[in-house]
Structure 1
Amino acid sequence: MMLLLAVLCVLYVWSPATLIGGQGSSTNIIPRKKVPLSSNGGRFFREEGVWNYTTMLLREDLNMLILGAREAIFALDLDDITVRKAMVNWPVSEEKQKGCSIKGKDATNDCKNYIRIIHKRDDEKIYVCGTNAFSPTCDNMSYVNGELKLDNKQEDGKGKCPFDPFQRYASEMVDGELYSATSLNFLGSDPVMMRSTGEIIRTDYWFNEPNFVRMAYIPEGKSSPEGDDDKIYLFFSETAVEYDSLFKVDVSRVARVCKGDMGGLRTLQKKWTSFLKARLDCPFPNIKLPLLVQDVFQLCQDDWTTCVFYAVFTLQLDSSEYSAVCAYKIEDIKTVFSNSKFKTPVTVATSFVKWVMHSGEVPDPRPGACIDNHAREKNIHTSLDLPDKTLQFIRDKPLMDQAVKAIGERPLLVKTGIAFTRIVVATATALNGSSHQVMFIGTKNGSVLKAVNYEGEMIIMEEIQLFESSQPVKILRLSNSKKQLYVGSEVGVRQLSISECGRYHTCQDCVLARDPYCGWDLNAGSCSTINSTHRTRTSTVIQSLSDGDASRCPQLGGSKPVNIWFIHDNTVKLWCQPYSNLAQVHWKVNGKPIRPSDTIQILSDSLMILNASAEASGYYTCSSVERKYEVQHIAYDLQMLSGSENPEPIHDLKEKKNTLVAMVVILSLILAMLVIWNLYKGHLPLPCCHGRVKDMANRNVDESLSASQAQQHKVASPTVNLNSNHNYANNQRSSISRETDRLSTTVDSSGQISLKYRDDESEI
C-alpha cells in the first residue's frame, strides 16, 4: 500500500492532459440488456482434448475460418463453425519436448506447439508458425481436396513467432513479406520488430520491456502528393523512460516503419532507418497512472486517410478493473511523426539518464521520414543513400516528444468493474442511410459488449455472455460479408450474428434499444434487421437512434390478470421482470402507485407483501418505464382466502388433500392388519407379555416345520414402504412401530428361529 501511494505521489506531477482528460465520460454505463450464457444463441466449436483457440484467419474466398489452437489447425465453415471441414495436427516431437523441459519449462503446458501465426500468402498458400516447445517453427500449409496439409518444409521461426506461448506478439503479412514483433531469444530479453522475408531488417535496442499488441498496414503511398511510402504501424506498451520516477511505470505507444526501408549503408546496417515511436494518450477520469493498450482495431471507410484506430485500454494495476476505449485518426498519428519534436537522453549527475525535448538542430532529410519527393530532390532514392548524420540521430533519438491525442481528447467509452481484452468495430447503416460504428468489446469475464456512440452519447446495447466468467475473450474477428462475429478463448470458439434483432419482443423494446441494425416492422409485427427493402418504405418501419422515440409504436393492451389467493398473515411475492436494465419498475394497486413501507418491499424483480391482511387484496399491475415510455408487463388479482370462499384453485387443492388423506388411511389400515397378523402368529410381542416373548424365543419350532417354511417365516417379517411425500403417514408409521423396530428375526445354524430385543443401536 505504501508503495502504491508513493507511485501516485510521484506521478502526480505528470502532464495535465493525463489528469483531466475524459472528465465528461461516464464510468457507470449499464448494459441495457444482459444475455446469459444459456441464451446467447451462438454456435460453439470445441474439439475434445484441444485447447487455446486464439489464432484466426478469415478466408472468405474459401468460406472458411482457419483456426489455430494448441498442436492443431482447423478449417471451419464460416456460416456454421460447428461444421469442421478439415483438421491437421502439428504436435511437438518427444526430443523437442524433452529439451524444453530440461531448460526449466513446464512440459505439460509450455512445451507444446501453440499455433501463433496464420497468414494468407500471395500464392494462395497459408503461412503458419508455432511455438514448438520454445523452438519457434514455421511452415506452409495448403487446403486441397477438402484437406489441410502442411508442406513439412519447416523453417526457423525466431523473430517471427514467440518462444513463450503466453507472451503477446504482433504480425502482419504485406505483399508476401512477413512483419513481426516478438522476442528473438529463449529468455524473451531481445524484443524486435522485424521484416523476416526479402530484405531482413530489424530494430536496434529501441524497446524497453515491451508488450506487443497489434500491427496495421496503411498504404499511405497510394495517391500521395508527397510521393510518400506505405507504412506498418505497431501498437504496444513498454516501460517509460521519459518520466522522473523511482518506480517502473508503463505507457502505451505507437511506432511505425516505412515499407521500402532497406536499412543504412554504414550506420544502421540491416536496421530500420525509419523507426519512430510516440506515446498514445487515453485520459481516464481521476486516474493518474497511464492506461495500457490491450488491443487495436483498424477501420477504414474509404481510402487510408479516413482510417481510425479503435483501442481498448486497462489500468496497469491488476487489482483495479478500469477500462476505456479511445479512437485515433491516422492523420493525427502521421502529424506527430512528421512534425513533433524529438526527445533526447541527457545524463544527469554522471549516472542518471533523463529524457528531455530536443531543442537543437534536426538533420535534413528529417530523421525517421520515408523516402519521398523531398528526399529524391536531394538525390536520395533509398534508405541506403541517407547521410550518416540523419541515421545517427534516429539511432539515438527514436522517441517523439508529443503524444498522439485521442479523438476529442477523451475516451469514447469508460467502464469500471470490468476489464476489456479485445475489440472489433463494424459499420451499420441505419434506416435513414446514416452510418454508425458499432463496437464489439471482449472482456476478461468471457462476455462481449455491443456499444455505439450517438453524437457523444455512448450506450451499451447488450452484454452477451459467451463463455464462463473464468474464461477471458482472447481473440475477436469480424466478417463484414457474413455479418458474423467469431470469438475465441482458451476453451472454444463462439460464432454469433452482429444483429440479433429477435431478442427484442415488442415495438417499444425494439425502438428503445437504439440498435442501428434493428427496426420495428409494422407489417410483420416484429423487430427486423434493417435492409435495403426497409429503407424504401420507411413509413412502415420504426427506428429512432438519436433519442429512442417510441411514440409511433402501437399501444399494447393490458394483460389478463392472474388470480392469486393468499392466507392471512402469510408473505406474498408477485413477480415482475423488467425487459431492460435501464427501465424502472412501477407497481400500482387499484390504479394507485405503491410506495415501500414496513409491510411492502419493492425489489428489482418482484413485489413482497409481508404479513398480508385483507387490506392487501386488490388489482396489482407492474409496468416498466424507460425514457418516459411505459409498458405493462403483468397484472394480478390478489384476494385473501376466507371460509365462505371456495375458489377454483383452492377447490383443486382440497381435492388433492382429500385424496392424500384417503391414501394415508388405507396405508394405515394395511399397516395395522400386518401388525395384528404378526401378533397373532407370535412374531411380535405385546408390551405386557415381554417375558412370554423371551420364553418363545427359547422354544423350538415345530419339528415338522421345514427349512423352507422357516425361510417363509423370515420373509413374512412386515415392512411397509410409504411415499416420502406423505409426512402424516410416516409419522404414524414411526409411532406405531417404535417397538417392533427394536425386534430382529434370526435363524440359527440348526434352522431354528429366534426373536430378541436389540437394545444396542449398533446391531441395527
Structure 2
Amino acid sequence: DLLKSNSSRLLLASGDEMDFQALLVDEDRAWLMVGAKDHIFLLHLDHPSREPEKIFWPAPREQVEHCQLAGKNLETECANFIRLLQPFNQTHVFACGTGSYQPVCAFIQLGARGKGTRAPRMQLVSHSLESGRGRCPYSPREPFTGLLIDGELYSGTSSDFMGSSAAFFRTWVHGPEQSYIRTEQNQDHWLHEPAFIGAYAIPDTYNPHDDKVYIFFRETAMDAGQWEWRHIHARVARVCKVSCQGQHSVATLGCLTSTLLLAEDVFLLHTRDPQNPLVFGLFTVSRDTESPVLPSSGVFSGSAVCIYSMAAVRAAFSGPFAHKEGFDYRWVEYKGRVPYPRPGTCPSETYDPLLQSTKDFPDELISFMRGHQLMWEPVYPQGRQPVLARVNVPYRLRRLLVHRLDSQGRDCDVLFLGTDDGKVLKVALAGGASPEVISLEEISVTKVPSPILDMKLSPKRQELFVSSTHGLLRLSLYRCELYGKTCTECCLARDPYCTWDSKSCAPHLLTEKRRARCQDVLKADPLSQCQDTAEG
C-alpha cells in the first residue's frame, strides 16, 4: 500500500540479506550513502531515476576462509559489513567495515556534482586502506558508535575477535601512522561489558577548549555480590576534545526503576542554544532477562523514551563522586578532598596557563581519576519519568529520531521510532513539561518482520530514510490525504505536518503562510479552528 501511494519509494532492495546498516545523508548536495554487506551505494536524491553509484568492497578470500574456520557463518558474519560512514570533508567520506572479523577502514572519494552520467563516480581510495581495529567492531551485530570530528574518530567498540575487550577509542584517521588513545585495559571498574549506542560533540561554554564529547552506552555493573543479580545501567561518559589522555567521567542515566534497563538508542535534538540540546534516550525492559529471584520488580516489559536536559547532565558531572568502601565494597558517595583541577576540567590557557594539556595534570589528579570515574548522583529525566512508553506490545523499539516543528508558536516534537519487527511509529509530543503523547501512524515498512537497522531524517526534503536487512525505503514525513476530506477530520488527526487550507488536508510546509492555515495540535478544537472554513 505504501508503494502504491506517492508517500514512499523503495530505493534499494535485495533478495538475500544485504544488511543496509549505515546511512549518511548530505542535504546540501542531495545524496544518500548506504553501507551494506560488501557494498557501498550512493543515491542521488534529486535524480531518483539515476542508477545508484556502487563500490564493491569484499573481504579478502583468505580472511573469509579464516572466519569460517573460526566457526562463523559464511552468509551472516564472514563478509565485509559496512558499519561506519562519517563525513571527512567536501570530497571524502571515512568508511569502516567488519572485514570478515578483521575490521578495515578507508576513504571514499566522492564524484563531481555533475548531473550527467559522464561525471566522475565515487571510488574507494585504495592507498588509504588500513586496520579498523578500535574503530569498527569485528561483528556485524555488535552495538557500537563512531563520531568523526576534525580528523579524529571517537569510537566505542570491541577490540578483539571474541568481542570481550570493549573500550572507547580516539584515533587519528589522516596521518602517516595509526595512533590512538583508549580507556585503560583490564579495568573492569571503568567499563564492564559495555554496549555503545551514541556519541555527540557538545560545547559546554563559548570557549572551544571546553568542548567535550559525550558517549552514551549501557554496561553490566557488578554492584552486587557474587550471588546477587547483575544490574544493567544506562550511562553517559564525557571526554575533553583537547585531552591527551584517556581519562573520562561517567554518570548514570535514570529513566525507569529497573535493574535491567537496556539503553537502545539516543538522539540529540539541537535547540536554539547550541550548548543546551535535548537528549532523547530510548530504553527497553524485558521480562526475558528478569531475575527468577525477582519475578515482580514493579517494572513493565516494553520500551520507553526519556528526555534529558544538558543542565541535568552537567549537574551530575559537577556533583559528588562515587567510590567503593566498606566490608562489602559497595558504591558510596565520596566525601573526601577532590584534587585540583577538578576531574573533568579541560586544560586550557584561560583556565590555568600552566595546564596546556592533560599531560600537565599532577599525578595526584591522575590517580584520583583512575579510581573515581563514576558520579554519585544519577541524571534524572525531565518530569522524572518517561514521556512515552509502549507496554506489553508484540515489538520492541530499537531506533529513535526526533523532528522539532513550530506549531502555532509552540514547539512540537515528532518522534519516529523503529521497531524490531519492521515498523516505524510516528508519535507527536504536544505541550510543555508534561507533553501529551499523540500516536499518529504505525507503518509497516518490511514485508517480512525484521528489525529496523538505521533511520535518517531529511528535514529539508521532508523525508525519512529507513533501512533493514532486505531494503532501503524513503518515506514522506506526512500523508495528509489519509485524514479525510473535511476540516474537522483534518483537525482531529492532530498531525503537526498537516493542516486545513480551506480546500483539503494538506502539508503544513514551512514556506507557506501559517495564518492561512489552521492546525492546533494541542487543542485540536474543530469548532474554533474550522469556523472560518466553508465547512462552518
Q: TM-score, normalised by structure 2?
A: 0.87
The equivalent residue for 2:507 is: 529
Q: Is the 8 A contact 2:202 2:275 kept in 1?
A: no
Quick one: structure 1 residues 139 and 177, their matched pair in 2 at CA, closer, same or farther if it must change by over 3 Å? same
Aligned to 1:687: none
Question: Higher Cα Rg: structure 1 or 2?
Answer: 1
Q: Which stretch shows the higher mean deviation, 119-128 or 38-47?
A: 38-47
Distance 1:519 1:74, change over 3 A: same
Correspondences of 1:165-204 after superposition (within 5 Å): 165-197=140-172, 200-204=180-184
Contact 1:40–1:466 at 8 Å: present in 2 too? no
Q: 1:128 aligns with which of 80, 87, 95?
A: 95
Residue pairs, 1:465-614, within 5 angstroms: 465-468=444-447, 470-506=449-485, 507-522=487-502, 525-531=503-509, 534-535=512-513, 537-538=515-516, 541-551=517-527, 552-553=529-530
Specify the alignment match of 1:251 in structure 2: 233
CA distance in 2, matches of 1:533, 1:52: 37
Distance 1:544 1:96, change over 3 A: same
Closer, same or farther: CA 321–54 of 1 in aligned 2, 3 Å? farther
Displacement after TM superposition at 1:118 (Å)? 0.9
Q: Distance in 1 between matches of 2:380 and 2:67?
A: 44
**Aligned partner of residue 238 in structure 2, secondary structure:** strand
Matches within 5 A, 1:31-110: 41-44=7-10, 45-49=12-16, 51-79=18-46, 83-110=50-77
> Does structure 2 conserve the Cα–Cα contact (< 8 Å) formed by 1:79 and 1:482?
no
> Conserved in 2, the CA contact under 8 Å of 1:429 and 1:436?
yes
Give the C-alpha shift of residue 148 in structure 1: 2.2
What's the offset of the Cα at 1:499? Answer: 2.3
Cα offsets for 1:273-304 (capped at 9, x unmatched): 3x011110002xxx643422111111112232
Query: Taking structure 1 as reference, are residues 315 and 414 closer, same or farther at Cα in structure 2, changes over 3 Å only?
Result: same
Partner of 2:402: 425
2:352 is paired with a residue whose SS is helix
- Distance in 2 (alpha carbons) for counterparts of 1:554 and 1:187: 66
Query: Using a 3 Å threshold, how does the CA distance of structure 1 residues 232 and 317 change in structure 2: closer, same or farther?
Result: farther
CA drift of 1:457 comes to 1.2
Name the residue aligned to 1:741. none
- The aligned counterpart of 2:334 is 358
Please give the alpha-carbon distance, in whole angstroms, between the structure 1 residues aligned to 2:4 and 2:288.
30
In structure 2, distance between residues paired with 1:438 and 1:189: 38
2:483 and 2:404 map into 1 onto residues whose CA distance is 21
- The question of whether the paired residues in 2 share the 8 Å contact of 1:54 and 1:69 is answered with yes
Counterpart for residue 302 of structure 1 = 272
- Distance in 1 (CA, whole Å) between partners of 2:326 and 2:90 is 52
Structure 2 counterpart of 1:214:
198
Q: Give 5+ residue unaligned stretches, structure 1.
A: 1-34, 264-271, 558-628, 630-764
The one-letter amino acid of 1:442's match is G
Alpha-carbon distance between aligned partners in 1 of 2:413 and 2:406, rounded to the nearest angstrom: 9
> Is the 8 Å Cα contact of residues 75 and 84 (structure 1) preserved in structure 2?
no
Contact residue 223 and residue 230 of structure 2 kept, 8 A:
no
Question: Are 2:222 and 2:230, in contact at CA under 8 Å, matched by a contact in 1?
Answer: no
The change in CA–CA distance for 1:295 and 1:536 in structure 2 (over 3 A counts) is closer
Give the share of equivalent positions with the same residue, in percent: 32
Alpha carbons of structure 1 residues 543 and 372: separation in structure 2 relative to 1, 3 Å: same
Residue 150 to residue 545, structure 1, CA distance change in 2 (3 Å): same
Q: Offset of 1:122 from its aligned partner? A: 2.6
Higher helix share: 1
User: Are 1:76 and 1:82, in contact at CA under 8 Å, matched by a contact in 2?
Assistant: no
Change beyond 3 A, Cα 1:513–1:293: same
TM-score (norm 1): 0.62
Q: Which residue of 2 aligns with 1:454?
A: 430
- CA-to-partner distance for each residue in 1:223-250, whole Å, 9 max, x for gaps? 24xx752111111110123356702221
Structure-1 separation of matches of 2:47 and 2:332: 55
Deviation at 1:79?
A: 4.7
Is it true that 1:291 corresponds to 2:261 in the alignment? Answer: yes
Question: Is the contact between residue 203 and residue 275 of structure 2 (CA under 8 Å) also seen in structure 1?
Answer: no
1:470 to partner: Cα distance: 1.7
C-alpha displacement of 1:81? 5.9
**Residue matched to 2:123:** 149
CA contact (8 A) 2:494 2:519 kept: yes
Match of 2:223 among 242, 248, 271: 242
Counterpart AA for 2:312: D
Cα distance in 1, alignment partners of residues 169 and 512 from structure 2: 49
Measured in 2, the distance between the counterparts of 1:534 and 1:56 equals 30
Structure 1 stretches of at least 4 aligned residues deviating more than 6 Å after TM superposition: 35-40, 554-557
Counterpart-to-counterpart distance in 2, 1:521 and 1:228: 50
Contact 2:33–2:42 (Cα < 8 Å) also in 1: yes
> 1:521 touches 1:542 (CA, 8 Å); kept in 2?
yes
The 1:39/1:130 distance shift into structure 2, 3 A limit, reads: same
* 1:488-510 deviation per Cα after TM superposition (whole angstroms, max 9, x unaligned): 11111111111222221222221
Give distance in 2, aligned partners of 1:175 and 1:533.
34
Paired amino acid for 1:217: A
Within the alignment, does 1:262 sit opposite 2:262 as a pair?
no
Q: Which runs of 5+ in 2 are unaligned?
A: 112-118, 290-299
Tell me how far 1:96 sits from its aligned partner.
Answer: 0.8
What amino acid does structure 1 have at the position aligned with 2:13? Answer: R
In 2, Cα distance between equivalents of 1:82 and 1:467: 22
- Per-residue CA distance 1:506-541 (angstroms, 9 max, x = gap): 22221001111211111xx11111235653543xx3
Matched letter for residue 362 of structure 1: V
Query: Partners in 2 of 1:310 and 1:42 — Cα distance?
Result: 26
Structure 1 residues 316 and 255, CA gap change in structure 2 (3 angstroms): farther
* Number of residue pairs the alignment of both structures matches: 500
Question: Would you say the 8 A contact 2:21–2:467 is kept in 1?
Answer: yes
Partner of 1:386: 361
Secondary structure (helix, strand or coil) at the match of 1:401 reads coil
Q: Distance in 2 between matches of 1:508 and 1:253?
A: 45
Q: CA deviation at 1:48?
A: 4.9
Question: Shift of residue 317 of structure 1?
Answer: 3.6
Corresponding residue SS for 1:135: coil
**How many Å separate the matches in 2 of 1:179 and 1:370?**
17
Which of residues 337, 340, 343 is equivalent to 2:319?
340
Q: Give the superposition deviation at 1:544.
A: 2.4
Aligned residue number for residue 755 of structure 1: none
Matched residues in 1 for 2:375 and 2:470: separation? 41
Instruction: Give 2:473's aligned amino acid.
Output: R
Checking the alignment, whether the CA contact within 8 Å between 1:365 and 1:375 is kept in structure 2 is no
Identify the residue that residue 661 of structure 1 maps to in structure 2. Answer: none
Question: 2:390: which partner in 1?
Answer: 415
Deviations along 1:620-660, one digit per CA (max 9) or x if unpaired, are xxxxxxxxx9xxxxxxxxxxxxxxxxxxxxxxxxxxxxxxx
Matched letter for residue 296 of structure 1: V
Instruction: State the secondary structure of the residue aligned to 2:32.
Output: strand
* Deviation at residue 146 of structure 1 after TM alignment: 4.3
Q: What CA distance in whole angstroms lies between the structure 1 residues aligned with 2:155 and 2:322?
A: 26
- Pairing 1:281–2:254 present: yes
Which whole-Å CA distance do the structure 1 matches of 2:73 and 2:146 have between them? 26
Aligned Cα root-mean-square deviation (Å): 2.6
